[in-house]
Structure formats: structure tokens, C-alpha cells
Amino acid sequence: MLYLVGLGLSSVEDITVSGLKAVKQCSRVYLEHYTSILMSASQAELEEFYGKSVTLADREMVESGCEEILRGANSEDVAFLVVGDPFGATTHTDLVLRAKQQNIPVKVFHNASVMNAIGACGLQLYNFGQTVSMVFFHETWRPDSWYDKILANRKIGLHTLVLLDIKVKEQSYENMARGRLIYEPPRYMSISQCCEQLLEVDEKKSIKAYTPDTPCVAVSRLGSPTEAFKAGTIQELANYDAGEPLHSLIILGSQCHELELEYLLDFCDDREKFKKDVAKDREYFKPEPVMIEEDPEEEEE
């Protein structure tokens, strides 16, 4: 059996009881180690808590060499641990499909992830549109495919969750080109860098998805003891020091409900200014008035 076990967001104790029982009976345990990190637990702490050795599974192992993970899983129990929920990344869907192709039974243990825990900021989950990912820009690579998704969300008044890039066990372009297995130190995108990249791309677009004054919510270390939220405009948050990772950003939609706004005011430096920013933003994609043409035949009558 292959077990996909969600670990939750922060502590070794965030795993579910049923998930923990499954891990303890496995002969091999892998920890997915590139889409996210467990903020308040090290590999050694996980091993002590489970009473099992834990193998870190990097991107290369999961996406290219997953046969190592699936090896023998049709005759023994193997656990694949995922920070958050197992289906928070499409990579893990691919792993399940590969297991099924080999007739390996699969059981999933779900857990909290950023996709549902983000409601802790006070915004209602059903008011969110498409989620986007913001990657680190490079000198020669500054992707903006996410912009159209934000634009689509904003046009219908929905919030956008922006997931910020992390780099764990990544190679530089030079080392990759030269075939040198030298890895860069881990990097985690900050709120300020994300907002700077948002502003940079917006300057180049003719159709605007947002402005520097668009209200946002910075979310830091969600689900951990040091969880923090900060509400402000994109321009304001571009100068915000959010502290230690992990971070996410929410771009507000114009359908922001009054109860949502009331909740967010606790995270503002200037409550009245934020109210005005939200009111101004509601006008940004305000639908044009519908013009009903009169029927000429009715006029004649």
C-alpha cells in the first residue's frame, strides 16, 4: 500500500491520528521536500516522533525517479508525507496515477493546507477565485502568465490567493549547465518581493488587473504559533518586513463583504485609510450600466 499522508502546516503534532498510525506501520517513509516545508519541525524531530527513519524526497526524486518511492509498495507499506494536504500540488496526483498503473493500492490521509486555512484571515473561502503562484524573477526570465488569472478573478470581484515561491535544493543556471551537483542555499520569497514583482509586471500591461493602491492581505507563517496577518495596499506591502517564512498574499476582490472588511481592519495600520482603499477599489471593475433599448414597435403604439 502507498500511503499519502498530509502533515498539516506547522508542527509534528499536526498530523491526524489515522495518518500517524499509518506512518508507524510503514517500512519506508518519504518526506516531500520542495513544494513546502513544515515550519516548526525538523527532519530529526519527525523521525523521533514517528519512530521511523525519514528520507527527504526532492523534486528530482518525485517527478523523475518516483520508482524509488513506489518500489515494493505492492507488497509492503510505504508512506509519502506531504506538508499541508497531499493534493495541494499536481505532482502528487501524478504519483497516485503512476501507482495505479502498477496496481499499487493507494490510501490518502487529508489534512489542513493553505488552501483552506487561509480563511483564518477573515475572508470567506467561497469568495476566492483561481489561485496563482509567484516565482522568483531572474534577469532573463520574468514570467507573467499568472497575471491573466488575477485579471479574471478581479473582473468578477473574487479574491486571489498568491502562493510565494520557495527554492529548496535548487541549482544555479551555471552549475546546471556545467553538470555540477552544487545546490544553492534555500530561499523563500518575501511579501515585499512578491509585491515588487506584481508592480513591475503591472507597469507593462495595457489592461490593468490591479493598481498600486489595490488592497491586499499579507499572510505569514499560517498555522504556526507566530501566524501573522497584515492588511494594506500592494504599494504599502512592498515595504513590509513580514519576518520569517512561509508567506502568502491575498489580492482582494471587489465583492469583499462588509463582515470580511470588518475582520481585516484589525490587521491595518490605518483603519480609515484601508476602508477608503477598499471603497475606491470596488469602483475599479464596476460593471457598466445596462442600457435597455426601447422597442420601436412599442413606440409606434
Structural domain boundaries in the chain: 2-112, 115-285
123 is in an annotated binding site: no
Q: How far from chain centre, in Å, is Cα 137?
A: 17
Question: What pLDDT does residue 299 have?
Answer: 54
Q: With 60 as the cut, is the pLDDT of residue 81 above it?
A: yes
138 is in an annotated binding site: no
Q: With 80 as the cut, is the pLDDT of residue 166 above it?
A: yes
State the angle between helix axes of 17-24 and 43-50 in degrees (0 to 180), rounded to the nearest 10.
Answer: 80
> Per DSSP, which regions of 88-191 are E strands?
106-109, 132-134, 160-164, 166-167, 187-188
- Dihedral sign for Cα 264, 163, 244, 10, please: positive
SS3 state of residue 213: coil
88 is in an annotated binding site: yes
151 is in an annotated binding site: no
Architecture in CATH of 115-285: 2-Layer Sandwich (3.30)
Percent of the chain with pLDDT over 90: 74
Q: How confident is the model at residue 67 (pLDDT cuts 50, 70, 90)?
A: confident
Contact 215, 268 (CB under 8 A): no
Question: Which range among 52-61, 182-191, 209-218, 290-299 has the greatest average pLDDT?
Answer: 209-218
Instruction: Tell me how far apart the alpha carbons of residues 278 and 288 are, in angstroms, rounded to a whole number.
Output: 19
Q: DSSP characters for 106-119? A: EEEE----HHHHGG
Contact 147, 160 (CB under 8 A): no
254 is in an annotated binding site: no
CATH class of residue range 2-112: alpha beta
CA distances to 8, 52, 94, 96, 103 from 28, in Å: 20, 8, 20, 17, 19
Question: What pLDDT does residue 295 have?
Answer: 63
CA distance between the termini of the chain: 77
Q: How confident is the model at residue 105 (pLDDT cuts 50, 70, 90)?
A: very high
114 is in an annotated binding site: yes
CA distances to 1, 208, 219, 252 from 282, in Å: 51, 14, 22, 10
Q: How confident is the model at residue 169 (pLDDT cuts 50, 70, 90)?
A: low
Instruction: Tell me how far apart the alpha carbons of residues 235 and 203 are, in angstroms, rounded to a whole number.
Output: 13
> Per DSSP, which regions of 49-168 are E strands?
55-57, 78-82, 106-109, 132-134, 160-164, 166-167
90-104, 144-158, 244-258: least confident range: 90-104
Number of helices (H), then strands (E), belonging to the chain: the values are 13, 12
222 is in an annotated binding site: yes
Question: What pLDDT does residue 172 have?
Answer: 57
Q: With 90 as the cut, is the pLDDT of residue 158 above it?
A: yes
Instruction: Tell me how far apart the alpha carbons of residues 179 and 182 are, in angstroms, rounded to a whole number.
Output: 9
Question: What pLDDT does residue 155 have?
Answer: 93
Question: What pLDDT does residue 280 have?
Answer: 94
